[in-house]
Amino acid sequence: MNHPIYEPRAAFQPHGHGHTAPVRPSCPLFNTLPRADHAARSRSPRRGHQLSACAHNREQAPPPSPNSPSIHPSMGSMPEKPRHGLGSLVSGLQEVCESGVTKDLAWRRSQLKGLLRLLTEKEEEMFDVLRDDLGKHRAESYRDEIGALVKSVNHTLRNLDRWAAPEKAQAPLVSFPATALVVPEPLGVVLVFSCWNLPLGLALEPLSGALAAGNAVVVKPSELAPSTAAFLATNIPKYLDPRAVKVVLGGPEVGEQLMEHRWDKVLFTGSARIGCIILAKAAKHLTPVALELGSKCPCIVDRLDSKRDTQIAVNRIAGGKWSLCAGQACLAIDYVLVEEKFAPALIEVLKSTVKRFTATPECMARILNEKHFKRLSSYLKDRKVAASVVHGGSVNPKTLTIEPTILLNPPLDSDVMTEEIFGPILPIITVKKIEDSMKFVRSKPKPLAIYAFTRNEKLKSRIINETSSGSVTFNDAVVQYVVEGLPFGGVGQSGSGQYHGKYSFELFSNKKAVFKRSFLIEFMFRYPPWDNGKIGMLRHVFNTNYVLLLLGLIGLRR
Ligand code: NAD
C-alpha cells in the first residue's frame, strides 16, 4: 500500500551554526489520525477547550485520499502536497544520516536547544493538550513532563561533549605501543513509539537522547492522546531539523506498517502484548529493540515509628499513586505490602491524605477512555474485591471517573492482583512479617520498580540483594524517574534496554571499538608454523601480569 507523505512549509532554521548538508530538503509528515474522530473528541464536553491550532488547521487540511489514511487537522497550518510513502520516508532519513549532518556535534546541540525552545515557548499549549487528553493539572504536567524534560535536556547539553568523546581503554602491554579507544557513533535512523499516559515525556525524552547521539528519528506518538500527538506533529518540524526528525501519526495499523521497515533501533513504550508484536516484526530485519513495558510495582511499607515518618511516607505513596496520571503510569505504585498490625494505622493516614490531595476534581487526572474505565470498574465489580474496599470505590460512567480507592486484602487471584492496575485503585496486602514481602514480590514477574519505606538498613540490603527489578527506591516513589544519573528501564517482563541521561546516549549509540597498533614490534610466535615453544610463549602472554613483572624487574616488588 502506498502512503501519501506531506511536505510542510515550516523550514528548519539552524541555531548557533550555519551547517547545511546537501540532503533532500523534504519534510514528510505522515498522518493517519481520522479527522472525524479527533473533531468528535475535541467537541466532547469532558474537554474544556479546543486547540486553536487544530481548529484553524482543520479548514486548511487537504481532503483524505480514498486509498490512504485520512489527514489530521493539525497538518493544515502547513501547505501540504502528497509525496511518497513510508519507504521513501525511511530512505530519505537514511540519506540524511549518510550525509553526516546528524553526526555533527554542533547540529546535535542545535537540536537540543530547539527542543528547549519548544518546551519554553509552547508551554501554555502543552498544558492545554495534556489537559485535553488526560485532564492533567498544569502543576502535574509541569512536574512530570515539561519541567522534567527541560531538566533532562539541559543535563544532556551540559554533558554531551564528554559523552561523545572517545573513551580510552586499557591496551595490553604485549601490544605496546598501541592505543585502545571506545568511540561512540550514531546508530542511524531510529524509531520511537510513545505511550499516552506521559504523551510528551515518553516521546521527547527518548527523542532528545537519540538526537544527542546523532541519529535521525521518527516519533510515533500514541493515537490515544490525540491532542498531544497533533501538537507534536505541528511543532516538532518548526523547532527541530525537519530533514532528520519526523512525526508519524496513526494507530496500530500505522505502527505495524512502520515495523515493516528496517530501523537501526526501535524504542517501544507500551504494553507487553504490543511489545511482542514489535519484537516479532523487528526480528525480520534483526532490528534491535528497547522495550519499556509495564508491571505491578510493589511498595513495601515497614513499621514506621514516628508519626512524622508515617505521614511523609504516606504523602509519597499517595503522590506515587493518585497524583501520577491517576495511577495510569508504569512507575505508579500498584499495591502496598505491610505488616498486619501496622495496616490499620497506615490506612487511616492514607485515607485522610488522599482526601486532601484530591479535594478538587482537577487535582487528579482522568481515566483515559471508556475502555480503560470499564477495565478498572470491572475490577471493583468482582464481589470479593468489592468487599475489600476500605475507602472510595465509587465510579461514574458519565464522567469516566473512578474515586481514589483503597482495598484491603483483595483475593490474590482476582484480576486486580494479577493484572497491572494502571488506575486509581490501591490494594493493600498484609504480611505477617515485613521480610515476607520479598517472597511475595519474587513470586511475581520482575517489576519496573520496587518501592520500600523503612529505616531498617538490613531490610534495605535484603531488598536490593533478594529481589530483581528495574529500580529500587527507598523512602520515596517515582522520583527516580528524574534522576538523570540513574538508568530507567525494566528487566524481564517489565522490559529491556535503559535510557535517560547518559543511558539514552548509550542506548542510541554504537560503542565502536578502535585499536591502533604500530609497526614497531612484531612477535612471530602468534603465527604458524606452530610448535610447542609457541604455546609456551602464548601462555606467558596471556597469563603474565606485565605490570608486576616490570615492578619486580626494577626492584619495587619482590
Ligand atoms: P499500547 O501498547 O497499546 O501502545 C503503545 C504504542 O504502540 C502506541 O504508539 C500505539 O499506537 C502503538 N501500537 C499499538 N498497537 C500496535 C501494533 N499492533 N503494532 C505497532 N504499534 C502498535 O499502549 P497501552 O497498552 O495503552 O499502554 C499501557 C502500557 O504501557 C502499560 O502496561 C504501561 O505500564 C506501559 N507503559 C510503560 C512505560 C515505561 O516507560 N516502561 C511508560 C508508559 C506506559
Model pLDDT for residues 215-268, shown as the tens digit of each residue: 999 999 999 999 999 999 999 999 999 999 999 999 999 999 999 999 999 999
pLDDT of amino acid 84: 54
Of 31, 134, 267, 269, best ligand 1 pocket probe by most atoms within 8 Å of the beta carbon: 269
In this structure, the chain runs to a length of: 558
C-alpha cell at 46: 469532558
Told to judge if 140 belongs to the known catalytic residues of this protein, a careful annotator would answer no
Q: Write the DSSP symbol of residue 436.
A: H
Residues in contact with 304: Cβ distance below 8 Å, sequence separation at least 6, in sequence order: 310, 313, 342, 453, 454, 455
Asked whether residue 441 is domain-assigned, the answer is yes
Asked whether residue 10 is domain-assigned, the answer is no
Asked whether residue 233 is domain-assigned, the answer is yes
Closest ligand 1 atom to 250 CA: 11
pLDDT of amino acid 551: 81
C-alpha cell at 75: 497538518
Pairing mode, strands 297-301 and 333-339: parallel
| Phi and psi torsions of 312, nearest 5° | -65, -45
Of 202, 271, 276, 493, best ligand 1 pocket probe by most atoms within 8 Å of the beta carbon: 271
- What residues line ligand 1, using a CB cutoff of 6 Å? 193-197, 202, 220, 222-223, 251-252, 255-256, 259, 269-271, 274, 277-278, 292-294, 330, 420, 422, 448, 490, 495
Residues in contact with 287: Cβ distance below 8 Å, sequence separation at least 6, in sequence order: 262, 263, 264, 265, 266
Instruction: Please tell me whether residues 343 and 275 are part of one structural domain.
Output: no
Counted domains in the chain: 3
Instruction: Please tell me whether residues 164 and 305 are part of one structural domain.
Output: no
Catalytic entry in 7, 145, 292, 339: 292
Instruction: Please tell me whether residues 268 and 412 are part of one structural domain.
Output: no
Residue where one domain finishes, among candidates 444, 468, 489: 489
Instruction: Please tell me whether residues 162 and 261 are part of one structural domain.
Output: yes
Share of the chain above pLDDT 70, in %: 85
pLDDT in tens, 447-461: 999 999 999 999 999
Of 195, 197, 292, 500, best ligand 1 pocket probe by most atoms within 8 Å of the beta carbon: 195
DSSP letters spanning 93-140: HHHHHHHTGGG-HHHHHHHHHHHHHHHHHTHHHHHHHHHHHH---HHH
CA of 79 to the centre of ligand 1 (A): 31
Asked whether residue 66 is domain-assigned, the answer is no
pLDDT of amino acid 152: 98
C-alpha cell at 382: 468482582
pLDDT of amino acid 549: 76
The answer to whether the beta carbons of residues 61 and 76 sit under 8 Å apart is yes
**Beta carbons within 10 angstroms of residue 552's beta carbon:** 12
Instruction: Please tell me whether residues 44 and 169 are part of one structural domain.
Output: yes
Instruction: Please tell me whether residues 216 and 176 are part of one structural domain.
Output: yes
Instruction: Please tell me whether residues 280 and 306 are part of one structural domain.
Output: no
Instruction: Please tell me whether residues 272 and 377 are part of one structural domain.
Output: no
Rounded to 5°, the CA angle 145-148-151 comes to: 145
Whichever domain contains 374, its CATH number is: 3.40.309.10
The answer to whether the beta carbons of residues 399 and 46 sit under 8 Å apart is yes
The residue whose CA has the least distance to atom 9 of ligand 1 is: 222
Asked whether residue 68 is domain-assigned, the answer is no
| Helix (H), strand (E) at residue 417 | helix 415-418
Rounded to 5°, the CA angle 422-203-230 comes to: 95
The residue whose CA has the least distance to atom 1 of ligand 1 is: 270
The residue whose CA has the least distance to atom 20 of ligand 1 is: 255
Residue where one domain finishes, among candidates 293, 309, 344: 293
Instruction: Please tell me whether residues 152 and 254 are part of one structural domain.
Output: yes
- For residues 111 and 117, give the distance between their C-alpha atoms in angstroms, rounded to a whole number: 10
Instruction: Please tell me whether residues 202 and 279 are part of one structural domain.
Output: yes
Closest ligand 1 atom to 273 CA: 2
Instruction: Please tell me whether residues 287 and 354 are part of one structural domain.
Output: no
Amino acid at 323: S
pLDDT in tens, 49-77: 333 333 233 333 333 333 333 333 333 23
Asked whether residue 327 is domain-assigned, the answer is yes
The answer to whether the beta carbons of residues 51 and 227 sit under 8 Å apart is yes
Whichever domain contains 220, its CATH number is: 3.40.605.10
Q: What is the CA radius of gyration of the chain?
A: 27
- Domain of 550 in residue numbering reads as 523-558
Instruction: Please tell me whether residues 359 and 285 are part of one structural domain.
Output: no
pLDDT of amino acid 16: 37
Asked whether residue 432 is domain-assigned, the answer is yes
Told to judge if 27 belongs to the known catalytic residues of this protein, a careful annotator would answer no
CA of 516 to the centre of ligand 1 (A): 44
DSSP letters spanning 190-214: EEEE--SSSTTHHHHHHHHHHHHTT
- For residues 104 and 88, give the distance between their C-alpha atoms in angstroms, rounded to a whole number: 24
- For residues 2 and 212, give the distance between their C-alpha atoms in angstroms, rounded to a whole number: 32
Asked whether residue 499 is domain-assigned, the answer is no
Q: Which of 94, 208, 202 is nearest to 154 (CA)?
A: 208
Per-residue pLDDT tens digits of the chain, which is 558 residues long = 333 332 333 334 434 333 333 333 333 334 333 333 343 343 343 333 333 333 233 333 333 333 333 333 333 233 333 345 899 999 999 999 999 999 999 999 999 999 999 999 999 999 999 999 999 999 999 999 999 999 999 999 999 999 999 999 999 878 889 999 999 999 999 999 999 999 999 999 999 999 999 999 999 999 999 999 999 999 999 999 999 999 999 999 999 999 999 999 999 999 999 999 999 999 999 999 999 999 999 999 999 989 999 999 999 999 999 999 999 999 999 999 999 999 999 999 999 999 999 999 889 999 999 999 999 999 999 999 999 999 999 999 999 999 999 999 999 999 999 999 999 999 999 999 999 999 999 999 999 999 999 999 999 999 999 999 999 999 999 999 999 999 999 999 999 999 999 999 999 999 999 999 999 999 999 999 999 999 999 998 888 887 777 788 788 876
Residue where one domain finishes, among candidates 238, 258, 293: 293
- For residues 430 and 351, give the distance between their C-alpha atoms in angstroms, rounded to a whole number: 17
CA of 267 to the centre of ligand 1 (A): 11
